[in-house]
Amino acid sequence: MTQRIASYPGTALSEEDIERGHVLSVHDQLRADYAWDAGLAIGLYLDGLKAGVILGVRCRRCDRTVVPPRAFCEQCFAPMDAFVPLADVGIVNTFSLCYVTWDVKRIVEPLIPAVIDLDGTSPPAGIMHLLGGVVPDRVHIGMRVRAVWKPARARQGAITDIRYFKPLRRG
């Protein structure tokens, strides 16, 4: 860097500077409410989840079956309307053992997010979900897992109608 510059601008503050009022700041909380429409394809996906079925969609032109379902193929731009029920069984494509929540709180028992390749899809075509009912150390890529559903009366038509995926075999 140009050695002519003796010192660079930018003044570092510490948490203490804020807490003790060494510098002034303004706090505010923004509140925003939204109602997102699910749309055609995800609307059907949520209907399926409520009924205990994971719905994929096939592109007739690309001969490709993907999940989550979508109204059009992003690769060939043709409409996609061949909705197909998939098995609620798949393979762990990848996973993490996560010890912090989305808002950076530490947790002792890890959350186990994973990408799961469902049977009947054209890889790579996984979904993100959580693993459960398994000792974290035993989770591995390639593990066969099955969806654990909420009881039918508790389902709302949401991705959380699947509580988590658990190993097909113990341990």
Which of left, alpha, beta for 16 (phi over 0: left; psi -120 to 50: alpha)? alpha
Q: How many other C-beta atoms lie within 10 A of the C-beta of residue 104?
A: 6
Q: Residue 27, interface with another protein (CB under 8 A)?
A: yes
Name the β-bridge partners of 129: 114
Nearer to another protein, 41 or 167 (CB): 41
58 binds another protein (CB under 8 A): no
How far apart are the C-alpha atoms of 12 and 102, rounded to whole Å? 26
Q: Kindly identify the residues of this chain, within the stretch 98-117, that bind another protein according to CB under 8 A.
A: 98-104, 110-111, 113-115
Can you tell me the distance from the alpha carbon of 138 to that of 153, in angstroms, rounded to the nearest whole number? Answer: 32
User: Footprint of another protein on residues 118-157 (CB under 8 A)?
Assistant: 124-130, 141
* Angular region, 15: left φ>0, alpha ψ -120 to 50, beta rest: alpha
Which CB sits closer to another protein, 30 or 135? 30
Contacts of 146 (CB under 8 A, 6+ apart): 88, 89, 165, 166, 167, 168
Smallest separation, CB 168 to another protein (Å): 20
Using the minimum distance from each CB to another protein, give the nearer residue, 132 or 146: 132
Residue 170 CB, nearest approach to another protein (Å) = 22
Coil, strand or helix: which one is 113?
strand
The yes or no reply on residue 51 touching another protein (CB under 8 A) is: no
Q: Does 85 bind another protein (CB under 8 A)?
A: no
141: Cβ–Cβ under 8 A, 6 or more apart, which residues?
92, 93, 94, 95
Task: Report how many residues bind another protein under the rule CB under 8 A.
Answer: 57
Asked if residue 21 binds another protein (CB under 8 A), the reply is no
Residues lying near another protein in the complex (CB under 8 A) are found at 1-3, 5, 7-15, 17-18, 23, 27-28, 30, 34, 36, 38, 42, 45-46, 66, 68, 70, 74, 93-104, 110-111, 113-115, 124-130, 141, 158-160
